[in-house]
Amino acid sequence: MLLFTPGPTPVPQSVRDAMSQETLHHRTPEFEAVFKHSRELLFELLGMNEVVMLASTGTGAMEAAVTNLCNKKLLSINSGKFGERFGKIAKAYDISNVEIKNPWDTPASVDEVVQAVKSDADIDAIAIQVCESAGGLRHYVEEIASAVKKINKEIMIIADGITAVGVEPIDITNIDCLIAGSQKALMLPPGLAVLGLSDAAVLKIADGKGYYFNLASEIKKQRKNTTAYTAATTLIIGLESMLTCIKKDGGLDKLYHDTSLRAAANTKALEAIGLKIYPVRAAKAMTTIYDKNAEDIRKILKEDFQINIAGGQDHLKGEIFRINQMGLIDVYEAAWVVNCIELALDKLGRREYNATASRIFNIEFFELNKVEE
């Protein structure tokens, strides 16, 4: 089965091999060396001044960010399920919360955020997705962060980059907390979350909040290449292997370049066969199509062509489908996916198959590649 869901993503064979070695005890020099190297590679990936790894899924890092970085009121940006989650976390902890809510295809505007911040002096943290995976949209995170810092540089900018870190370069100049998760762009099994922190964020964390998700106790330990509680050893071994694998494949710039080309070629190919991109501003992590036959197409892909793509959630169930673009993806697999979507449209009697999708995909991918080289 070809796994083309925007999380979990397939784990490369070399990384699975690395994770199949004998169990290492977490309080040993052997594991601390692995931890140190993974940490160094994360500094390179995130570009932030501090890094913390947590044994949890991405949501745990979202929770840690909110509880440790917001003291008064959280402004959360809700253009989908994951933005909504930040508000739910605040609520669970009795942290005051205001929300900017938009339809799932629409990113929040810089203006909306600026107005909200200016009209409420209690807001001391903003939480936003870089890519809101519910509808595959790219928020104006960098622009929003820059505008907010001009108003009040004390406001913490929490950016959920779970489907953006490892997908495209992110300008972290005005970001205080950048979150990543193992099973999306990092191509690992679920269970490891990462937070990159600015110096200002580390200062604000001070003694930290909570117990398991107390970032102060983790920072203290992780600076010494260990963790407050048992480390997710296998996943951290996998992370070291994965980030090394990306390096061997040409590094982050090549990964970003290939992802960008593949996403663009996908979009052109699917538009050429009459399909409609859902978000107003599409992220590169996934290609999201709005279509009345979304579920039929997914079913045909799975049953006839052994390709697993994702559908929509909540009110978008049955209305959209999402194709993953995150990670090291072979171009022939990506070309095959658009080809099979065209075959599915034929099976549904919507459009006679003439190999347009794969042709356009190949032309776009290889032509764009030429221009940029």
Ligand X SMILES: *Cc1c(COP(=O)(O)O)cnc(C)c1O
364: DSSP letter: H
Interface with ligand X by CB under 6 A: which range of 10-18, 46-54, 156-164, 250-258? Answer: 156-164
CB of 57 or CB of 260, closer to ligand X: 57
**Least CB distance from residue 285 to ligand X, whole Å?**
8
* Rounded distance between C-alpha atoms, residue 297 and residue 279, angstroms: 19
Sign of CA dihedral 347, 349, 350, 354: positive
Site for ligand X in 189-208 (CB under 6 A): 190
Binder among 9, 76, 102, 163 for ligand X (CB under 6 A): 163
Cβ closest to ligand X, residue 59 vs residue 339: 59
Q: Is 96 exposed, middle or buried (0-12, 13-18, 19+ CB in 10 A)?
A: middle
Q: How far is the CB of 207 from ligand X (least distance, A)?
A: 26
Based on CB atoms, which residue is closest to ligand X, 165 or 344? Answer: 165
Nearer to ligand X, 57 or 226 (CB): 57
How is residue 291 annotated by DSSP?
-
Choosing from 84, 105, 160, 319, the residue that interacts with ligand X (CB under 6 A) is 160
Q: Which is nearer to ligand X, 293 or 308 (CB)?
A: 308
- Identified binder of ligand X from the candidate list 4, 5, 7, 126, rule CB under 6 A: 7
Binding segment for ligand X (CB under 6 A), chosen from 20-28, 160-168, 307-315, 333-341, is 160-168
The mark string for 10-49 relative to ligand X (x by CB under 6 A, - otherwise) is ----------------------------------------
325: contact with ligand X by CB under 6 A? no
Q: What is the 3-state secondary structure (H, E, C) of 7-34?
A: CCCCCCHHHHHHHCCCCCCCCCHHHHHH
CA dist 362 and 342 (Å) reads 14
Footprint (CB under 6 A) of ligand X, residues 44-83: 57-59, 82
Residue 56 vs 358, nearer CB to ligand X: 56
What is the smallest separation between the CB atom of 283 and ligand X, expressed in angstroms?
9
Interface with ligand X (CB under 6 A), residue from 67, 102, 129, 241: 129
Buried b (16+ CB within 10 A) or exposed e, 57-83: bbbbbbbbbbbbbbeebbbbbbbbbbb
When the beta carbons of 283 and 307 are compared against ligand X, the nearer one is 283
Closest CA to 10 of 190, 149, 272, 177: 190
Task: Find the binder of ligand X among 9, 38, 67, 133 (CB under 6 A).
Answer: 133
Residue carrying structure tokens 């960098």: 142
Nearest in space to 266 (alpha carbons), one of 354, 336, 352: 336
Which helix (H) or strand (E) segment holds residue 49: the answer is none
> Both tokens of residue 136?
């595959």
As measured in angstroms, the least distance from the Cβ of 237 to ligand X is 19
Rounded to the nearest angstrom, the gap between the alpha carbon of residue 63 and the centroid of all alpha carbons in its chain is: 16
Q: What single string gives the DSSP state of each residue in 67-110?
A: HHH-SSEEEEEESSHHHHHHHHHHHHTT-EEEEEE--TT-PPPH
Q: How far, in whole angstroms, is CA 259 from its chain's centroid?
A: 13
- Residue 46 or 335: the one with the smaller Cβ distance to ligand X is 46
Contact residues: ligand X, CB under 6 A: 7, 57-59, 82, 129, 133, 160, 162-163, 181, 184, 190
